[in-house]
Amino acid sequence: MVQAPQKEEATQNKFEKFKSEKDGLAVREELEYFANIGWEAMDKTDLEHRLKWVGIFYRPVTPGKFMMRMRLPNGILTSEQMQTLGEVVQRYGEDGNGDITTRQNLQLRGVRIEDVPDIFRRLKAVGLTSVQSGMDNVRNITGSPVAGLDGDELIDTRELVQKTQDMITNSGEGNLEFTNLPRKFNIAIEGGRDNSVHAEINDIAYVPAYKDGELGFNVLVGGFFSAKRCEAAIPLNVWVSANDDVVEMSRAILEVYRDHGLRANRQKSRLMWLIDEWGVEKFRAAVERQFGRPLATAALKDEIDWEKRDHIGVFKQKQPGLNFVGLHVPIGRLYAQDMFDIARIAEVYGSSEIRLTVEQNIIIPNIPDENLEAFLSEPILEKFSISPQPLERALISCTGAQFCNFALIETKNRALNLIHELDQQLEMTQYVRIHWTGCPNSCGQPQVADIGLMGTKVRKDGKTVEGVDLYMGGKVGKDAHLGTCVQKGIACDDLVPVLTQILIEQFGAKPKS
């Protein structure tokens, strides 16, 4: 097991302490025992923290009904896998659902601890894992959702994303080399021209770039959001070939972070804090030593030169006669029947493949021209539309108060109701990306949005009510940069007039007559 550096032992916070007492991954061997004794009898640290090492999240908001966070590299899964996940949540009736996350991933809800061993056996049988998806581990690795389909793509990222995940998780079996990082860690590998993964908000991002005529990646490091600080990733001044060097580079950076990252204060433990302390040149030198070979300096420019696409609608693939269709999933929420329907249409009309996007939507690829008409007349497309209302189309939301105990406000349901009202009242000439996040942790990424809404509490008429801080100016795609807070403390009840005014004055909306 990898231990935190000795020098910081004296200042171990409670997370470092329980990690050094017992690795989080150890609970993998105790799942049958937990299932037998029930969650109420479990050790509190195992229940509330260590279970996250196997992707099981205790929810204080819904005690006994756990959340399970999957790993879906590059956001890709099969009909069979979706069917299995649907069966898992179906068992929990009204408590069960699946949410598409802002990392191209799925989280299941309602899961009971007594069912976990059986669920894990079923996941394994269809090649799925939820290992190392929470706490101080590497999160789901994102890649272009149209990798291998897009005629304009530069690098097909699918294999690189899968290999990187396999290195980190020992092909889904769990890997003690990387289960005690100082903090969470995000990796994204972009192969297209439109920065579909939000490279700038990842601890490591690979963006396509030519060096001496060869296509590879420039490496960015240190991007992150936290309640205390948000930073865009910065260049490491490294270029790597589009081959296993990506996996080795990720390994080298993770090892440096694991062995030298700051652990005393969890508010200052993300990778960027180490880069700040060392300076990027010292950090680069340490990564180069760990990599074991001289590193090439970054290419002068990268190939991100498009505006970001949302992939909703029907698109020709690079393979003649095939199409991918992007379906809009309102606030990313799926119920068991939706999951079965999606699995079925992917199997009947496509190649049994399903993809997820960081916009919390679904893409069904490989639909032959002759199947398109029948596909588009499937009833599920009334719910998951290829031409949603303009404001709803670009709506993103984190989990919020319904399930998350960090939340200061309800997000998903409120976001949807409010956007329906605005869509009814306003004629839009452009899409406006509105992101909701229930607290300053920023899981809903308000800093990348045209309009970002971050949950807070505000005083109104002598009472404390749910409100938001307003973020604006987030730019995605080419020349991406983070938006900033422009107004604090707007009561949620006042949001319709406030957003109406912003949409009219700054985004060309017109009131419907």
The residues carrying an active-site annotation are 69, 183-184, 438, 443-444
Backbone dihedral angles phi then psi of residue 218, each to the nearest 5 degrees: -80, 150
For position 441 contacting ligand SF4 by CB under 6 A, the verdict is yes
Which residue has the closest beta carbon to ligand SF4? Answer: 438
For position 195 contacting ligand SRM by CB under 6 A, the verdict is no
Q: Identify residues 262-291 at the interface with ligand SRM (CB under 6 A).
A: 270
**Smallest distance from the beta carbon of 133 to ligand SRM, in angstroms?**
6
Tally the residues of the chain.
513
Which residue has 């985004």 as its token pair? 507
| Whole-number Å distance between alpha carbons of 185 and 181 | 8
**Smallest distance from the beta carbon of 299 to ligand SRM, in angstroms?**
25
For position 184 contacting ligand SRM by CB under 6 A, the verdict is yes
For position 107 contacting ligand SRM by CB under 6 A, the verdict is yes
Single residue of 175, 226, 250, 357 touching ligand SRM by CB under 6 A: 226
Instruction: Return the bridge partners of 235, or none.
Output: 220
Instruction: Return the bridge partners of 129, or none.
Output: 71
For position 396 contacting ligand SF4 by CB under 6 A, the verdict is no
Single residue of 81, 83, 361, 442 touching ligand SRM by CB under 6 A: 442
Question: Which CB sits closer to ligand SRM, 290 or 402?
Answer: 402
Question: Which CB sits closer to ligand SF4, 48 or 177?
Answer: 48
Which residue has 């180069």 as its token pair? 288
Which residue has 């390994």 as its token pair? 251
Looking at this protein, which amino acid is placed at residue 111?
Answer: V
| Whole-number Å distance between alpha carbons of 511 and 270 | 45
| Whole-number Å distance between alpha carbons of 262 and 271 | 8
Q: Which stretch binds ligand SF4 (CB under 6 A): 55-63, 210-218, 434-442, 501-509?
A: 434-442
Which of ligand SF4, ligand SRM, none has residue 18 at its interface (CB below 5 to 8 Å by kind)?
none
Which residue has 């195992």 as its token pair? 46
Q: Which stretch binds ligand SRM (CB under 6 A): 98-106, 149-157, 246-254, 386-394?
A: 98-106
For position 97 contacting ligand SF4 by CB under 6 A, the verdict is no
For position 438 contacting ligand SF4 by CB under 6 A, the verdict is yes
| Whole-number Å distance between alpha carbons of 363 and 360 | 10
Looking at this protein, which amino acid is placed at residue 327?
Answer: L
For position 437 contacting ligand SF4 by CB under 6 A, the verdict is yes
Q: The tokens of 123 are what?
A: 């996941």
Q: Which stretch binds ligand SRM (CB under 6 A): 120-128, 151-159, 182-190, 467-475?
A: 182-190
| Cβ-proximal residues to 47 (8 Å cutoff; 6+ apart), any chain | 39, 58
Three-class HEC string of 187-231: EEECCCCCCCCCHHHCCEEEEEEEECCEEEEEEEECCEECCCCEE
Q: Which stretch binds ligand SRM (CB under 6 A): 236-244, 280-288, 435-443, 470-478?
A: 435-443
Single residue of 306, 406, 431, 507 touching ligand SF4 by CB under 6 A: 406
Residues touching ligand SRM, count (CB under 6 A)? 31
Which of ligand SF4, ligand SRM, none has residue 407 at its interface (CB below 5 to 8 Å by kind)?
ligand SF4
Reduce the DSSP state of residue 449 to 3 states and report it: coil
For position 102 contacting ligand SRM by CB under 6 A, the verdict is yes
| Whole-number Å distance between alpha carbons of 439 and 406 | 7
Q: Angle at CA 172, nearest 5°, toward 166 and 177?
A: 70
Which of ligand SF4, ligand SRM, none has residue 107 at its interface (CB below 5 to 8 Å by kind)?
ligand SRM
Are 37 and 62 contacting, i.e. CB atoms less than 8 angstroms apart? no
| Whole-number Å distance between alpha carbons of 318 and 51 | 42
Which positions touch ligand SF4 (CB under 6 A)? 398-400, 404, 406-407, 437-439, 441-444
Which positions touch ligand SRM (CB under 6 A)? 57, 59, 67, 69, 99, 101-103, 105, 107, 139-140, 183-184, 186, 201, 224-227, 270, 398-399, 403-406, 441-443, 445
